[in-house]
Structure 1
Amino acid sequence: MSRTVYVNGRFLPYEEASIPIMDRGFLFADGIYEVSAVLGGRLVDNEAHLARLDRSLGAIGIRNPHDAAGWTRLQEELIARNGLTEGGVYLQVTRGVAERDFAFPPAGVEPTVVMFTQAKTIANNPLADRGATVVSVEDLRWKRRDIKSVALLAQVLAKQQAAEAGAAEAWMHEDGFVTEGGSSTAFIITEDGRIVTRPLSTAILPGITRRAVLRLAEEAGLTIEERPFSLEEAFAAAEAFFTSASAFVMPVIEIDGRRIGGGQPGPLTRRLRGLYLEMAAA
């Protein structure tokens, strides 16, 4: 059965959907995207995703074509039309269609909006039981990583390097310190139980799942340190994990071939995943 997608105000069969070749998202990667998880047919932590979308659009000067309520209606309609129970809703906004020129097009050009669903097992992902492996790669991205831009070539290359190594994710590093994953936020847990992740800045994306996990950890009375950590510290960690809308909380059992925490998901990571699943299902 064909998926239904959304393009510029219309719900269409996937096979009929198209955008003009002069769309600036295609020509310049001039656009912003978001992915919200779906569990039990319902959006997870969606308000935070839409707030980040609005922030990213504002940062590059694209008008947000919908308010939060409008986006949510469209997302829910797309979920219903596709009968999606678990997976994600992808949405993308570009600056629109205009003759190719680096400068912004004249006023009046409407943003392009594209949305689609992807079915995916998240809650009962077998990888969460056995743990993920990670490889480290140099971070080659631009300096505004806090903007969720569709310009993802560096992440594509990082994820390909991970795939070729048989790993689930790449952890990017700069000046010896881990920045974040190719499509996730990186965490380690020290021997004395401190949960460590890099603080927010223009060096990393403000992860929505990251924010929720930190809140849940704080509510559970766990110790959190927002600070940079090195690859060497990650190799020596008691536990490690990464977070994202499509993975929730994913245990890491190996980095660059070095076992973490005995090579199996650790108890604190499992606890955090359980807390997040409870929140998502509520």
Structure 2
Amino acid sequence: MPRQAYVNGRYQPHSDAAVHIEDRGYQFADGVYEVVPVYNGILVDEDLHFDRLDRSLAELQIEEPMSRPALKLVARELMRRNGLSNGFVYMQVTRGVAPRDHKFPKDSRPALVLTTRQMKPHSPQVLAEGLKVITVTDQRWDRCDIKSVSLLPNVLGKQAAAEAGAYEAWQVDGDGMVTEGTSTNAWIVTGDNKVVTRDATHSILNGITRITLLELIKAEGYSLEERSFSVAEAQEAREAFLTSSTSFVLPVTQLDGKPIGNGHPGILTGKLRHHYMDYMQTLRKSA
């Protein structure tokens, strides 16, 4: 069976899936999205993802396209049709179709799209050598806590990273402090073994993997600080890593061409990745 997508109430071949040219997501980036990881056939932290989707919709005053139980059924049916066991479910909600006008339309219905993608495990080379990261100026709007489909600054940052031979770009605010990556949260481990990541304000997207890892860090008794850190502090850190729904926990060993620590993935980073992978295994056992 060809790959399927779900568009506004219909399952259809992915190659034929389309939305109207006056969909406000297309014309105004007037919409939000979620990426829910799938690990061994299980939707990881799905309720946390749905909670964030609901919050993003509420912040933009977009109605929910369907109830949460119904949306869960759609996601699982699409996984079944596409044979998805490891990868992610992408879901996007826009304000819907209406004649082009900046103000909210009065009679549009939210548009809902779901797709899936298979993903391979991270390569042994990445885990053994770590990732290169560059820094870019954070050019985004002031509500980065909303998971909006308006991602042009993120796209430009990711492209800059690719052109520099790096995996990711960490964005830096006007005070020289790291906010987050273009699609990841940023973390460092200080010389005295404190795990540091920026606190969840409007300046960053509060990643679901970030939320879960914070709980695992606390449960394991590691020292933790939620605060800003500078590029200079990151370059002087003992370790660094990044998190996201598709990266899980991955080591960062180079920042702007300078090695972090000894230039190899850190011991604590490896432990945290192990804790997170164990956590996902427990989800499968309890499903």
- What is the TM-score normalised by the length of structure 2? 0.96
- Report deviation, 1:211: 0.5
How many residues are aligned here?
281
- Tell me if 1:201 matches 2:201: yes
Query: CA RMSD of the aligned region, Å?
Result: 1.1
The equivalent of 2:43 in structure 1 is 43
Partner Cα separation in structure 1 for residue 181 and residue 163 of structure 2: 16
> What are the equivalent positions in structure 2 for 1:152-231 lying under 5 Å apart?
152-174=151-173, 175-231=175-231
Partner Cα separation in structure 2 for residue 129 and residue 86 of structure 1: 22
- Report deviation, 1:68: 2.4
**Secondary structure of 1:26's match?**
helix
Report the residue type matching 2:168 in the other structure.
E
**Secondary structure of 1:172's match?**
strand
Partner Cα separation in structure 2 for residue 125 and residue 5 of structure 1: 32
- Report deviation, 1:103: 0.4
- Tell me if 1:25 matches 2:25: yes
Structure 1 unaligned regions, length at least 5: none
* Identical-residue share of aligned pairs (%): 48
Partner Cα separation in structure 2 for residue 125 and residue 66 of structure 1: 41
The equivalent of 1:137 in structure 2 is 136
- Report deviation, 1:2: 2.7
Partner Cα separation in structure 1 for residue 163 and residue 58 of structure 2: 36
Distance 1:247 1:240, change over 3 A: same
- Report deviation, 1:130: 2.1
- Tell me if 1:72 matches 2:81: no
**Secondary structure of 2:159's match?**
helix
**Secondary structure of 2:88's match?**
strand
Partner Cα separation in structure 2 for residue 200 and residue 275 of structure 1: 22
Report the residue type matching 2:274 in the other structure.
G
Partner Cα separation in structure 1 for residue 248 and residue 74 of structure 2: 23
Partner Cα separation in structure 2 for residue 149 and residue 184 of structure 1: 15
Report the residue type matching 1:149 in the other structure.
S
Distance 1:125 1:24, change over 3 A: farther
- Report deviation, 1:262: 1.2
Structure 2 unaligned regions, length at least 5: 283-287
- Report deviation, 1:129: 3.0
Report the residue type matching 1:159 in the other structure.
K
- What is the TM-score normalised by the length of structure 1? 0.97
The equivalent of 1:147 in structure 2 is 146
The equivalent of 2:249 in structure 1 is 249
**Secondary structure of 2:262's match?**
helix
> Do the aligned residues in 2 keep the contact of 1:134 with 1:168 (CA within 8 Å)?
yes
Partner Cα separation in structure 1 for residue 124 and residue 108 of structure 2: 42
For residues 145-178 of structure 1, give each alpha carbon's deviation from its aligned partner in whole angstroms, at most 9, with x where no partner exists: 0000000000000000000001000000011000
Partner Cα separation in structure 2 for residue 68 and residue 176 of structure 1: 40
**Secondary structure of 1:19's match?**
coil
**Secondary structure of 1:91's match?**
strand
> Do the aligned residues in 2 keep the contact of 1:87 with 1:122 (CA within 8 Å)?
no
Partner Cα separation in structure 1 for residue 273 and residue 125 of structure 2: 13
- Report deviation, 1:123: 5.7
